[in-house]
Structures are given as C-alpha cells and as structure tokens.
Structure 1
Amino acid sequence: MKKYKLMLSLFCLLLFCKVQAQKEQVITRGDYTLVFLDNSNLIAEELGQKLINTFFEVYPKMVADYNPSAKKRVTLSIDINYPRVAISGNGKILIGAVWMQKHPEDTDLVTHELVHIVQDFKALGPEWLIEGLADCGRFEYGLNNAAAAWSLPSVHPLQSYKIGYRVAARFLLWLNKYQESTTIFQLNTALKYDTYSEQTWKEITGKSLDELWALYLKNNDID
C-alpha cells in the first residue's frame, strides 16, 4: 500500500509539473480569445505578456481589414521542442522557444504569423507571394519592428521577387503606392478564394508580373 501511495504521489507530482510547465492561459478580450501555451522555462513572463498584447493589438485590425470571417480564437504555443522560428495554420501558431529566448525583441514574428491565420487561403499559391504578403502585414501592423532591427531591405538589381518575405513585401508595397492602391487586398482575396493566376497581375494593374518588377527596379522608392 505504501509503495502504491508513493507511486501515486510521484505520478501526481509529475502531472502537476507538466501542467505547470505548460503555463496555459486563456485570455478573452471582446470578441477575441487567445490560448497561450508555454512548455519551456526560457520565456520571461514579461515577454510572454508582450506576445499576448501583440495578438490583441494587431489581430482585430487585420481581421477587419482583410477577412471579417477569420477565426476569433487563436492558439499561440511556445515550444521548447520546435527547432525553427515559427509556423502557423488552422488558427494555431507555434514558436520555437530557443529562438524567442535569443531574440526577445522579435515579438512581431507573431504579427507575420497572424497574417497567415487571417489569410485562410483555400489553396496554396506561390510561396514567395504568400510570405511577401505576410511581411507586408508585419510592416503595416507591427509594433516592435524597429527594436527588433526588422526593416525592408534596399533594392538590388540581383534580387528577385521570388526571394519572398521582405524583398517581396517591399515590391508589393511599391505596387500599392505607385500602381494600384488595392493590389495587396486584391491579391489576398484572389488567394483566399483560389482564383489567383499569372493573369491576376494584369487584371489588377494592367501589366504582367515581370513588367511590374522591371518598373520597380527603376523606381523603387516607397517612403
């Protein structure tokens, strides 16, 4: 009996430790709910709160601007076992605890991933475009980009829009400013409803993608 009680006590202790390590919080503000999970001991409480605040600050704006039917409940997990930076899908975001510990100012990586949640595309489009649009969102809605030393790169003739991410984002923002002010919105819509094709660029701007890139290299100012 004593052995059984000891084993039961040990099991309860392990279960308690696991629950404690997970650090689950369910936070609701207005129409939005964030489930915040952390199975590491690497993230300070203050940093966790910044990630939570980022969600509630930027996500409702994205939803209103791009997809009012987007999920209102999102799960954000800090995972000690995830070796990369971050990944998202189906209302869930996974962030590598080691990356977050080493880059505590990079809280707007959550902003980038939240764009993917809002996009909710019906089919996969070009990866460079999807990631470029997400970095457009980070540029537009980000709260801590400057502190994280995150910015759009200078343009170089050897670049290609196919690099994606910040390179593509700068190009897309240029299109919005100098070609058609609804370019980013229309591209998001086309990808969401699986109507995107190479012809989409001409439908939006009257020019092909490669024609637009050639123009961009000649006049790339977006300030």
Structure 2
Amino acid sequence: MKQSLIMLSFLCGLFTIKAAAQGDQLIERGEYSLAFMDNSSMISEELGQKLINTFFEVYPKMVKAYNEKAPKRVILSIDTGYKKVAISGNGKILIGANWMSQHQEDTDIVTHELMHIVQSFKALGPEWLTEGLADCGRFQYGLNNVAADWGLPPAAPFQHYKMGYRVTARFLLWIDKYQKPNTIAMLNAKLKDDTYSSASWKEITGKTVDELWAMYLVNKDID
C-alpha cells in the first residue's frame, strides 16, 4: 500500500537496520533475487516459502509487462513491529507479522505490493488510482486469490471509482476490455513518467473518467 514519501524514506532506513541485524536468507533464481527476513515466530516455514515462491512466480511477469527497468533484487520483511498490513517502496516490502499470521492464505498481498515496486512512479499519483492499478496486477497475476477469498466486488450504485483497490480495479479492467485496450498499461506508464493528469482519461479513451464510470454502472460486466 502506497504511503507518503516521508514514510517510505523512514522505512528504507528501517530495512537497512534489519538487514544488517538479522541476515535471514537471500534467494537467487536467474537474474532475480529476494532477501527474505522474518523477525517473528509467527510465520511457518511453509508460509514463508509460499511468499518467496509468489515473488519468483509473479514478479518477472510483471517486470516484463510493465517496466523492464524495475529492480531485480527485492527485500521482503515480515515484522512484528509493523502493526498494519503492508507497505512498499524502493524495492522493499514490509508486511505486518501479526496480520500475515491471521491471513495465511492471503499470500498475494505480496503480488499487490510487487506491482507497486514495478510501477516505480516518479511522483505519487492519486492514491485511489495507484491502489486500483496494483489490484489489477493482483487480479491478473495472483496465485492464491481463490483460497484467500479475494475477488472483485460487483459494481453497485453506492460505489465510486475513487474508492480505490478492488472497486477501482474492476472499473479499470472493464475499460480495458470494453472501451480501450491497454488503458491499464497506458495509465501505469503516465504515472511512471509523471505525465498523468485528469485529462489523461480522455486522451487515452476518448472519454472522461466520470463518463466512463456512468457507462460502467450500466454496462458493468467484465467476465
């Protein structure tokens, strides 16, 4: 989950300290490597291996599809001191140990966070869009979404595209399928290059985001 640049800068220092203090394991497969650290006794070896395997299965596909210049080395830390769900930035992912131990099937939280790393946006765009795009990545590449009971909620009148995450992801997937192919990739590219604005929707699709949302609520299938 994207947070402020200040928070990400703080976490960079936190990761550096933990890497030096704990050492854990470095796994290398081809050109990709993962530094996996866990300061808890709450994550089983089996669950840790699933998280590691998720990285090596999905990350190379994301890099190829969205950003071939994304870092090939990623740090994944499971931490008892982090009380929220997850945060990522600058090639690093931090997951709360307590949350992970209570949601052991939700290993594709890693997939969501890896999408943020692949995005490598030069500036923080709208949070609802950033998180929606990351959940598009989870929907497309996730390995364990069914077991985690994770899916995209049906469109409903009370929703709004600015709700982010799965609501926005379903909307974006609908646009990609029924309005303008590659909208997701083009939005990612604009955010990455810091050229995104509200006018980008019409530039890409020929319609404003509000026009698209109104159409989506009427024609909302993506299956």
Same fold (TM over 0.5): yes
Deviations 1:86-118 (A, max 9, x none): 000000000000011000000000000000000
Segments ≥4 residues shifted beyond 3 Å:
none
Instruction: Show the counterpart of 1:81.
Output: 81
Could you tell me how far 1:23 is from its partner in structure 2? Answer: 6.4
What SS class does the counterpart of residue 124 from structure 2 fall into? coil
1:42–1:98 Cα contact (<8 Å) kept: yes
Instruction: Show the counterpart of 2:3.
Output: none
Give the residue type in structure 2 aligned to 1:122: K
What SS class does the counterpart of residue 36 from structure 2 fall into? strand
Instruction: Show the counterpart of 1:120.
Output: 120
Instruction: Show the counterpart of 2:53.
Output: 53
Structure 2: how far apart are the matches of 1:151 and 1:158? 18
1:34 matched to 2:34? The reply is yes
Give the residue type in structure 1 aligned to 2:124: L
Give the residue type in structure 1 aligned to 2:82: Y
Could you tell me how far 1:154 is from its partner in structure 2? Answer: 1.0
What SS class does the counterpart of residue 139 from structure 1 fall into? helix
Deviations 1:14-52 (A, max 9, x none): xxxx99x94611000000000000000000000000000
1:110 matched to 2:110? The reply is yes
RMSD of aligned alpha carbons: 1.3
Give the alignment's TM-score, normalised by structure 1. Answer: 0.90
Instruction: Show the counterpart of 1:44.
Output: 44
Question: When the two structures are aligned, how many residues end up with a matched partner?
Answer: 205
Equivalences for 1:62-211 in 2 at 5 Å? 62-211=62-211
Structure 1: how far apart are the matches of 2:199 and 2:151? 30
Q: Structure 2: any 5+ residue segments left out of the alignment?
A: 1-17
1:23–1:38 Cα contact (<8 Å) kept: no
1:34–1:52 Cα contact (<8 Å) kept: yes
Of all paired residues, the percent bearing the same amino acid is 71
Could you tell me how far 1:181 is from its partner in structure 2? Answer: 0.7
What SS class does the counterpart of residue 155 from structure 2 fall into? coil
